[in-house]
Amino acid sequence: MAADYFIPDVRALARFTPDQITKTDCFRSERLFTGINCLARGQSQKVHTHDGADKFYLVLSGKARIVVGAERRELSAGAIAWAPAGLAHGIDEALEDSVVLVVMSPPPGGGK
């Protein structure tokens, strides 16, 4: 969790592990959460659903195949995938080492 209100480059927080996706929290309030998911090439995030929480992904670097509902797209830096509450979503496969900003409201696991 950041100590103050600024992160100079969120991509600098990226960590990759050979075994699995890594997640790093950036900021969190009772309403809003943002963090990064880092996936080495070939890694994935299982398709899942959040009841009562809206979420989106913004690809910061790399390239990943992202699923929302019945659609899946290969997305690169600058792409957004929006997953409203109740709609299944996930990262099917990172096609390159990828850093993906995740934003969610309300936050996973409740507020601060």
Where on the chain is the footprint of a second copy (CB under 8 A)?
2, 4-12, 26-27, 29, 31-32, 34, 53-56, 58, 60, 66, 68-69, 71, 73, 75-85, 87, 101, 103-106
CB closer to a second copy out of 47 and 85: 85
Residue 12 has φ and ψ, to the nearest 5°, of: -70, -15
Question: Rounded CA gap, 96 and 98, in Å?
Answer: 6
| Min dist. Cβ of residue 60 to a second copy (A) | 7
Return the closest-CA partner of residue 41 out of 97, 91, 92. 97
CB closer to a second copy out of 44 and 76: 76
